[in-house]
Amino acid sequence: MSGRGIIGVAILGSTGSVGEHTLDVIARHPDRFRVVALGAHRNAEKLAAQVLRFDVPYAALADGGSAGKLEEQLRSRGARTRVLGGSDALEQIAALPEVDSVMAAIVGAAGLRSTLAAARAGKRLLLANKESLVMAGPLLMQTVRSAGAILLPIDSEHNAVFQCLPRDAMPGVAPPGVKRILLTASGGPFLDTDGTRLATVTPDEACAHPNWVMGRKISVDSATLMNKGLEFIEACLLFGVPPERVEVLIHRESIVHSLVEYVDGSVLAQLGAPDMRTPIAHALAWPERVTSGVQSLDLIKVGTLRFEAPDLRRFPALGLAQEAAREGGSRPTSLNAANEVAVAAFLEGGLNFAQIPSVIESVMASTSGGEIRDLDDVLAADAEARARASFFIRPRAVHA
């Protein structure tokens, strides 16, 4: 901690949905948290407003040109913030000595290097960027352990599991007595949509999540159930449980965020309103508790909590991810890369919704796995899967 017990925080991806929720929680506790650094990709305008509001000493944009614009905007307003730009800028702010906690909230593989930099620097790593864990699981977990970093999950499901585990649980090691992890999934906007209609749904329909307000990539992942697939892999890595001891339950209300079953038959769950500020506040203050601005849970109003099995026939992406988790090595890396390319193509109108899992399946069928020993192994598997996904996407017609 820096100063008089005030926690210095860096937010990577501050202009996104998780980043903004993090600033909302921090704004409620100026006596406990100080924003030391903010970083994003190219949204200079929003980042400048955040820097000015929170009087932030460091700001970074991965896009060098946008960093120049940010610098101009801040100077014209009299701010003395140090602005960094370019591909290494986010890694630099993640490792600053004034930073105690790093919120890793960049979307996709673009967050890998800065997430690893925070772990390597032994920070408290508040991990929202699930893709970095999925693509580089063994490497990231090893870096966390060897650097003595503290890993706190931000995904509401994993944060729920973390809260249901003993306080001394080690990252990547299943605590004794844990039988199963039960991950809940809202099911997304197409839970009741006929399978034949999935080829015609639009990006805006896919992004209209029934319970959560999120960025567009994770919203599409929720709609295909790939988000749950990525979280399945994430759970195995974070909590050291094999895939056969992780189960996915569709839970439409998004009130039970996940559960842990113990060998004596006890099942512990964490409940709350579907609002990311709860897991964010939990991880920011852990092991203490702070207010988050989230409404009290009114169970009488909620009334019913339903649980169902996922339909892997209509949502094959979840099955593909479960298979990658069982295969291990670089298979999750390939899966994540193929998914990112397919989702980007869908959002740009170059692929229909039902083709997203088909592209991923084709990539998985045409690549073989390998070990993940270092960053080069991760980047090689990622690049190969991206190239193959682009190859499979090119000849497809959107409504084929």
Binding site residues, ligand NDP, CB under 6 A = 13-19, 40-43, 62, 105-107, 110, 128-131, 155, 212, 214-215, 217-218, 276
Nearer residue to ligand NDP within complex by CB, 213 or 263 = 213
By beta carbon distance, the residue nearest ligand NDP is 16
Measured in degrees and rounded to the nearest 5, phi and psi for residue 181 equal: -110, 130
Nearer residue to ligand NDP within complex by CB, 228 or 362 = 228
We find the least distance from the C-beta atom of residue 123 to ligand NDP, in angstroms, to be: 17
Does the N-terminal peptide bond of residue 153 adopt cis geometry, omega within 30 degrees of 0? Answer: no
Nearer residue to ligand NDP within complex by CB, 212 or 391 = 212
Nearer residue to ligand NDP within complex by CB, 14 or 322 = 14
We find the least distance from the C-beta atom of residue 324 to ligand NDP, in angstroms, to be: 17
Q: Which of 105, 107, 126, 125 is nearest to 19 (CA)?
A: 105
We find the least distance from the C-beta atom of residue 198 to ligand NDP, in angstroms, to be: 21
Confirm if 47 and 26 have CB atoms less than 8 A apart: no
Nearer residue to ligand NDP within complex by CB, 62 or 354 = 62
The Cα–Cα gap between 377 and 120 comes to 18
Tokens of 8: 């210095």
Nearer residue to ligand NDP within complex by CB, 218 or 385 = 218
Helix 355-366 × helix 316-327 angle, to 10° = 20
- The DSSP call for residue 294 is P
The Cα–Cα gap between 306 and 357 comes to 27
We find the least distance from the C-beta atom of residue 12 to ligand NDP, in angstroms, to be: 7
We find the least distance from the C-beta atom of residue 145 to ligand NDP, in angstroms, to be: 22
Confirm if 222 and 126 have CB atoms less than 8 A apart: no
Nearer residue to ligand NDP within complex by CB, 17 or 362 = 17
- The DSSP call for residue 304 is -
Per DSSP bridges, beta strands 246-250 and 178-185 are parallel
Nearer residue to ligand NDP within complex by CB, 123 or 130 = 130
We find the least distance from the C-beta atom of residue 5 to ligand NDP, in angstroms, to be: 28
We find the least distance from the C-beta atom of residue 340 to ligand NDP, in angstroms, to be: 10
341, containing H or E segment: helix 331-347
We find the least distance from the C-beta atom of residue 78 to ligand NDP, in angstroms, to be: 23
The Cα–Cα gap between 91 and 60 comes to 10
Q: 154 in helix, strand or coil?
A: coil
From edge to edge, which strands make up the β-sheet containing 82-85? 82-85, 58-61, 33-40, 7-12, 101-104, 124-127, 150-153
Confirm if 211 and 220 have CB atoms less than 8 A apart: no
Per DSSP bridges, beta strands 7-12 and 58-61 are unpaired
Nearer residue to ligand NDP within complex by CB, 21 or 362 = 21
Q: 285 in helix, strand or coil?
A: helix
We find the least distance from the C-beta atom of residue 299 to ligand NDP, in angstroms, to be: 23
